[in-house]
Structure 1
Amino acid sequence: MTAPAASARRAEELRALLRHHAERYYVLDDPEIGDDAYDALLDELRGLEAEHPELLTPDSPTQRVGGTPVSSLEKVTHLLPMLSLANARSEEELRAWVGRMRNHLAREGIDDPRFEYVCEPKIDGLAISLLYRDGILERGATRGNGEVGEDVTHNLRTIPSIPARIAVADGEDPPALLEVRGEVYMSLPDFQALNERRAEAGESTFMNPRNAAAGTIRQLDPRLAAQRPLSMWCYGVGAMEGARFTSHWDSLRWLEAHGFRVNGDVVRLGGEDEAVARCLAWQERRGGLDFEIDGVVVKVDDVELQRRLGVVGRDPRWAIAWKFPPTTAVTTLRNVLWNVGKFGDLHPFAELEPVHVGGVTVKMATLHNEEDLARKDVRPGDEVIVLRAGDVIPQVVSPAPHAAERADRAPVPRPPARCPVCDTPTVKPEGAVFTRCPNVVCPGRQWQLLKHFASQGAMDIDGLGEKQVAALQEAGLVRTAADFYRLTPEALEALEGVGEVSARRLVDAIAASRDRPFGRVLFAIGLEEVGFVTGRSLAQQFRTIDALLAATPDEIQQTPGVGPIMARRIADQLADEDRRALIADLRAQGLRFEEDGPPPGEGPLSGRTLVLTGTLPDLTREQATERITAAGGRVTSSVSKKTDYVVAGESPGSKLEKAERLGVAVLDEAGLLGLLEP
């Protein structure tokens, strides 16, 4: 049966609208409509396709939820090999690579070639090839051995940032064939949230984001992939018909203009000195990224020079990977010890034979949780592999090779039967992931809550770190967070090592924290499920603590980013008598439990979109974002024609270049502060 012409036209119109809005959201980070409006369009299309199945197309946005599982992953041969990269680990090695290219071209009759380079972050994910015919995604495959990979199209279709159809302008024909190459990855915040959800559900956790991405892409059931937060950065093209690029940079700009996600920090540079400086800069900033990279890829930009340089073995002569210094080492695990978390959960950590890793000496490392400890099967006396990536807490990755073959291995470590801090018998309810200390006044648990309250992301009390919190707790001066605000300089001076000046400074810092906004206070009091973003969302949704305390789970669920299970847990915690007593005490101490700023969408920056880049003189990225959103504005991560202002600090990178190219207004910190004035 043929669908009515009006239904067919509406289905095609809806597909076009949904593709457009998906690109705005997932690729450009610049949405034009809200989630509710997008979902309404998607529901309308689902209804039409259900009523008229003949309207369903393979590239329909409704298919991203995951279709029928496949029985196996079929092997596919790449149209062009996906080559590997030679490595450079120092400035000298990168300059030697440039010298080798010059020598090779000299033998080809090209003397003194002028090289321009494109520098790209080397994403630590899974290399993928996307094959489009006449603009429609036909196949997606893993790199495999470079010649032959596995067909994982069923899973790649579920990733929102991968276009099912190439976005072309009116009157423009897509290439007859285009292979797009990139890296599928999982961001660090998404990885952490995924592992937390899996742990709570009693499922195994992933070792790192790369394993999570690779494991997801190779699943047989696409419904599993659809549930996991994957994304993709595109870094080049392979085989193509109907398109031609004279430079690698042009190919990236074309991909970006046609719906593909290209990392905003990719830059084109004029010489090897700039390339070296760029690699060193990435090496310094890697610990502050929200995704993992293990190096920088440097490519010759000119496609004709690439062709003349050719390939040696399996490596292109025209590209190289600047690999960062090793962040792993092997040492002996002395013992497995246990910490008490702020909600009573017990977390294992490793006491190590001191070892030098990533520029520091490591004596302790995390073992994450008891399920992860069991999976890794590391025991006291084993040689273990320790990882330290950027500024992340060192972690034990696995036993060293052959460690499990020792005949005299220690017994498998188990969670303690009694709390290591308060000696209360521990419990592990049926179906729970964590063994817990049930004592709500356990000093270890209280210390974690107090430390969290004072931390930089919460109340940000300068000078009140974990050692100071422990000293105050041990002296009996602080039992709950409200006790911080009752401290006096005289009481602090009685503590060992605290003088008159430092005591006064700490009291002043505590007093200054009373001005922290409502959302920060909600985050600081230590509610399970409530992070910095959720705390701010709750504050904006309910405006006052009284309204939040009176809210039902259904009402809490209306908050952006809060689901039904989270809403129930938040409501249960806010109904607890001790929690309400703490809130009342903090309120009496003058903390802010009302949202003073304008409702979302109101204020001096109402309707304005801003992008932050570089390091500002006085404001952190978090503080600037908070000020902007409090003024009714919106902060996105990428620059587009819809961006109203780019706020640029020191080392702004390519976002500033793109702003200047698009004619977007650029402000410094002083200019931003001027806009924030009502």
Structure 2
Amino acid sequence: MNQEEAKIRIATLREQLHTYNHNYYVLSQPSISDFDFDMLLKELIDLEKQHPELQDPNSPSQRVGSDINLEFNQVEHKYPMLSLGNTYSEEEIRDFETRIKKLIDGEVEYACELKYDGTSISLSYKNGNLIQAVTRGDGVRGDDVTANVKTIRSIPLRLSGNDYPDEFEIRGEILMPFAVFKKLNEEREEIGELPFANPRNAASGTLKMQNSAMVAKRNLDCYLYYLLGKEIPARTHYQNLQQAANWGFKISENTALCKNIDEVIAFIQLWDKKREDLPVPIDGIVIKVNSLDQQEELGFTAKSPRWAISYKYKAERVATRLQKITYQVGRTGSITPVAHLDPVQLAGTTVKRASLHNADIIQNLDLHENDTVYVEKGGEIIPKIVGVETNERVANAKAIEFIDTCPECGSLLIRKEGEANHYCPNDMLCPPQIKGKIEHFISRRAMNIDGLGEETIDLLYQKKLIRNVADLYELSKADIVPLERMGDKSAERILNSIQDSLQVPYERVLYALGIRYVGATVAKKLAKAIPSIDTLAQSTMEELVEVDEIGDKIAVSIMEYFSNDYHQELIARLKSFGLQLQGKEQEEGVGSKILEGLSIVISGSFSKYSRDELKELIELHGGKNVSSISKKTSFLLAGEKIGPSKLAKVETLNIPMISEDEFLGKIGE
């Protein structure tokens, strides 16, 4: 490759890698596999070495990536958070040892750790207390996410014992366990939102949420793996981790000491087989020189330590042929493209289909008809297409273009600004949406109507016996008995269960309606704050966003739902059948009404009660918790470290502020 060719290729690689970095670190939406990214980066580094005259200090080869989010305060790291070099072969691991032996005399011992696949964090402690948590950011500075990190139960807020240094940092990885990830994606799909591609994206996205109460509900976990400070207890990395475990930190029990590189390779091979049994994701092994003295002697390159490297397991990847793409319509109208593939074995299962999620992914892959595609299991869970073998593309093959009309009802699709998915707006007449809404309505967490499965709903729809959820309450035994695999007993069970659903409480009825973005938790919040469907239907945008955890997106969706004539008629019919469309009165003798009619915002940290406990006290005494300050706010319950924007708004609107002690006195605690 001559200089001009190298210049063009380097420019192309830099542009691609900048885009991939942004998608990965900032958007938490990776658009390329880790392996392919590393291969492109390696190609760029090699070309820059061959052509030093083309070096650029802003090249992706000089960066560690950045996850900085301007909605958070940025903090400069006391010790830079550098990235590790990646390897994929035994030969590269032995090369790592060779480089070390050239710089170090004597024996070298290695600490081997599982490489957890989450989002990096640095925790600062002073006098045994957590004082700050900062993301990696760009390696030099990161986002202050202390409030969110304090919700993670495996991170100690106060250390055990008394032999810890006065000040130190400890670094680790924040993770989302597989079980939590699975449940979260089910909930997202339930309210019409796109599922996360893998646990890493979910953990990263959660850590950057503005509402720490929502972070707490996602049950993140954290493993720590690196102690830093002037007075750390030992001169070996492994001993320091064991000591940190005594102070209350979650340190992996699977960390091992290896006397030589052969033991390191054996450890890598062991966990390549065992990693599928772990409750959290890993994507490789980190190898570190154990002696801190030797680490100091080896030092750092511009972006990584010379004394550590990561071995990354290759996600199992197979090539197969794309047969066709079909489009599924969800109950909220969301259109999901599905790739149909020639059957192929992948990670122990036969894969015939893979989700493509949305139009952008199809476009980024540059998919054509009958392409040979590469398939991996995303996050070791979901099959996904990660690339195309363009050399095998048939001449004149047509590019795949996303559909513009609904495959079920022919309606013109819409795509709202800022959203990845296309939607069919015909929610009243589109068959999959109608049947999906009925299936959601009868589900266990909603109306819990027994005996009606997906097939029975489909039969009732085909026979034109049901067209919406209200029609269920007009079904008769004569309608049900003639259906396939039905009889008198089955019909009676269904009808009895429909009758029993009239006692289902308001909050579950509200959830059952299937309003977009209103999942079970949001429905419960709404039902508490606005205890009747009539009041909810008339609520303004300002009134809705005052409800705890209700943001603009949810509020707009609720208002759009109730402004629709079809939905108004549906609610009227459900009322006529006797469904619970308003909340029960609060039991007498519980709490008091001293805060009745008051809208209260909580901000800051408190010494006697947690924020959740204070919210419960507000509700117990008749008050309403709201998340944002407005002219309707009665007072701000103020703790320590209130955000400056909240304080400014309080002063502008002249909202009273009371302390925790004043509040407790007010309610007689």
Q: Determine if contact 1:554/1:564 at 8 Å carries over to the other structure.
A: no
1:250-272 alpha-carbon deviations (Å, 9 max, x no partner): 6235245xxxxx59xx8899xxx
Q: What is the distance in 1 between the residues matched to 2:575 and 2:80?
A: 64
CA distance in 2, matches of 1:489, 1:564: 44
Q: What residue is the counterpart of 1:453 in the other structure?
A: 441
Contact 1:283–1:295 (Cα < 8 Å) also in 2: no
Deviates more, 1:479-488 or 1:507-516: 507-516
CA offset digits 1:388-437 (Å, max 9, x no partner):
57996x4424225x347635374332232432112334455777654443
Match of 1:342 among 290, 314, 331: 331
1:592 alignment partner in structure 2 = 580
- Counterpart position of 1:252: 245
- Give 1:66 deviation, angstroms: 3.0
**Aligned equivalent of 1:412:** 399
Question: Contact (CA 8 Å) 1:459, 1:516: kept in 2 or not?
Answer: yes
Q: Quote the residue 1:424 is aligned against.
A: 411
CA deviation vs aligned residue, 1:505-538 (integer Å, no higher than 9, x gap):
3333433433332222111111122111101111
Give the aligned length.
461
Q: What SS does the aligned partner of 1:182 have?
A: strand
User: TM-score normalized by structure 1?
Assistant: 0.53
Partner residue in 2 for 1:368: 357
Measure the CA separation in 1 of the matches of 2:401 and 2:565: 34
SS in 1 for 2:247: helix
1:85 Cα deviation after fit: 13
2:343 aligned partner: 354
What is the match of residue 582 of structure 1? Answer: 570
SS of equivalent to 1:476: coil
Deviates most, 442-451 or 204-213:
204-213
Is the Cα contact below 8 Å between 1:387 and 1:397 reproduced in 2? Answer: yes
Letter in 2 for 1:125: G
- Give the aligned residue type for 2:576: A
What does residue 90 of structure 1 align with? none
Answer whether contact 2:126 2:168 (CA < 8 A) is retained. Answer: yes
CA distance in 2, matches of 1:85, 1:599: 63
Is 1:184 equivalent to 2:174 in the alignment?
A: yes
* Alpha-carbon RMSD: 6.0
| Pick aligned residue for 2:475 from 459, 481, 487 | 487
Contact 2:232–2:240 (CA under 8 A) maintained in structure 1: no
Asked whether 1:66 is paired with 2:72, we answer yes
The structure-2 alpha-carbon separation of the partners of 1:215 and 1:445, relative to structure 1 and needing over 3 Å to count, comes to closer
Aligned mates of 1:601, 1:567 — CA distance in 2: 33
State the distance in 2 between where 1:225 and 1:553 align.
20
Is the contact between residue 155 and residue 225 of structure 1 (CA under 8 Å) also seen in structure 2?
no
Give the residue type in structure 1 aligned to 2:504: R
* Separation in 2, partners of 1:472, 1:410: 43
Match in the other structure for 1:625 = none
Tell me the distance in 1 between the aligned counterparts of 2:450 and 2:275.
29
Q: Aligned to 2:507, what secondary structure does the other structure show?
A: helix
The equivalent residue for 1:648 is: none
2:427 maps to 1:437: no
Query: Partner letter of residue 118 of structure 2?
Result: G
Tell me: CA distance 1:69–1:598, structure 2 relative to 1, closer, same or farther (3 Å). same
Tell me the CA shift for residue 561 of structure 1.
Answer: 0.4
**Conserved in 2, the CA contact under 8 Å of 1:449 and 1:526?**
yes
CA distance in 1, matches of 2:448, 2:418: 36
| Structure 1 residues without counterparts, runs of 5 or longer | 1-62, 88-107, 109-119, 143-148, 257-261, 270-278, 287-291, 304-312, 604-627, 634-678
One-letter code aligned to 1:578: Y
How big is the shift at 1:584? 2.1
Matches within 5 A, 1:11-30: none
- Report the AA paired with residue 344 of structure 1: G
The 3 A distance-change label for structure 1 pair 215 and 491 is: closer
Contact 1:424 1:437 in 2 (8 A): yes
Aligned counterpart, 2:517: 529
Equivalent residue for 1:12?
Answer: none
1:549 aligns with 2:537: yes
C-alpha displacement of 1:183: 0.7
Which of residues 106, 119, 124 is equivalent to 1:126? 119
Matching residue's letter, 1:482: A
- TM-superposed CA distance for 1:563, in Å, is 1.8
Partner of 1:34: none
Q: What amino acid maps onto 1:338 in structure 2?
A: Y
| Contact residue 516 and residue 592 of structure 1 kept, 8 A | yes
- The Cα shift of 1:383 comes to 3.4
Map of 2:50 onto structure 1: none
In 2, Cα distance between equivalents of 1:138 and 1:234: 17
For residues 408 and 390 of structure 2, the distance between their equivalents in structure 1, rounded to whole angstroms, comes to 31
Q: Does 1:382 align with 2:399?
A: no
Q: Distance in 2 between matches of 1:581 and 1:519?
A: 20
Q: 1:160 aligns with which of 129, 138, 148?
A: 148
State the 1:449 CA deviation: 1.7
Asked whether the 8 Å contact 2:541–2:559 carries over to 1, the reply is yes
Structure 2 residue matching 1:548: 3-state secondary structure: helix
Q: CA deviation digits over 1:315-351, x for unaligned, max 9? A: 99xx999x9x978654332111112233333221122
| 1:668 match | none
Q: Tell me the equivalent position of 1:477.
A: 465
The superposition leaves residues 542-566 of structure 1 with CA deviations (integer Å, 9 ceiling, x where unpaired) of 2222232232222222211002343
Counterparts of 1:40-79 in structure 2, within 5 Å, are 65-67=71-73, 76=80
Match of 1:26 in 2: none
Amino acid across the alignment from 1:452: H
Q: Which moved more, 1:205-214 or 1:526-535?
A: 205-214
Pick the aligned partner of 1:504 from 465, 489, 492: 492
- State the AA in 2 paired with 1:545: I
- C-alpha distance in structure 2 between counterparts of 1:413 and 1:254, whole Å: 56
CA deviations over 1:288-331 (Å, ceiling 9, x no partner) = xxxx52489999xxx9xxxxxxxxx9899xx999x9x9786543
Q: Aligned AA for 2:398?
A: P
Distance 2:88 2:143 in 1: 27
Q: Which residue of 2 aligns with 1:23?
A: none
Distance in 1 (alpha carbons) for counterparts of 2:395 and 2:367: 13
Change beyond 3 A, Cα 1:537–1:396: same
Q: Does 1:175 pair with 2:160?
A: no
Do the aligned partners of 2:126 and 2:167 also contact (CA within 8 Å) in 1? Answer: yes
- Conservation of the 8 A alpha-carbon contact between 1:332 and 1:352: yes
Q: Pick closer, same or farther for the CA change 1:445–1:225 going to 2, 3 Å.
A: closer
Structure 2 CA distance for partners of 1:550 and 1:387, relative to 1, 3 Å: same
**Aligned partners of 2:161, 2:246: CA distance in 1, in Å?**
19
Counterpart AA for 1:413 = I
Q: Within 2, Cα distance between the matches of 1:511 and 1:298? A: 59
Q: 1:492 to 1:389 in 2, by over 3 A?
A: farther
| SS of the residue 2:574 aligns to | helix
SS of residue matched to 1:534:
helix
